[in-house]
Amino acid sequence: MRFLSVCSGIEAAVVSRHMRDLTGHRNGRLVAVALDSSKAGRAMWSCRCDCGASVVVQSNNLTRDAGTKSCGCLRADAQRARLARDGAWNDGKSYAIGGGARCYKTRHAWAKAAIRHYGNKCMRCGWSAARCDVHHKHPKAAGGLHTLANALVICPNCHRVEHEARP
Ligand SMILES: [Zn+2]
Ligand SMILES: [Zn+2]
Ligand SMILES: [Zn+2]
pLDDT above 50 (res 27): yes
Q: How confident is the model at residue 12 (pLDDT cuts 50, 70, 90)?
A: very low
Which one of the ligands is nearest to 158 CA? 2
Residue 19: per-residue pLDDT: 72
Instruction: Find the mean pLDDT for residues 1-21.
Output: 54
Q: Is the dihedral of CA 57, 38, 19, 31 positive or negative?
A: positive
82-119 residue pLDDT tens: 777 666 555 678 887 877 688 998 999 999 999 999 99
Q: Which residues touch 78 (CB under 8 Å, ≥6 apart)?
A: none
Looking at per-residue confidence, does 122 or 94 come out higher? Answer: 122
Q: What's the confidence (pLDDT) of residue 9?
A: 47
How high does pLDDT run on average in the chain?
Answer: 85
More confident residue, 94 or 11: 94
Q: How far is ligand 1, taken at its centre, from the CA of residue 95, in Å?
A: 27
What pLDDT does 67 receive? 93
Average pLDDT, stretch 55-62? 93
Q: What is the pLDDT of residue 121?
A: 97
CA of 132 to the centre of ligand 2 (A): 8
Where is pLDDT greater, at 19 or 57? 57
Q: In this model, does residue 167 exceed pLDDT 60? A: no
Q: How far is the CA of 21 from the centre of ligand 1 (A)?
A: 22
How far does residue 160's CA lie from ligand 2's centre (Å)? 9
The angle subtended at Cα 65 by Cα 59 and Cα 71, nearest 5°, is 60
Q: For a pLDDT cut of 90, what percent of the chain falls above it? A: 59
Centre of ligand 3 from the C-alpha of residue 97, in Å: 23
Q: Which ligand sits nearest to residue 49's alpha carbon?
A: 1
Does residue 136 have a pLDDT over 50?
yes
Asked whether residue 73 carries a pLDDT value surpassing 80, the answer given is: yes
CB atoms under 10 Å from CB of 20, counted, come to 18
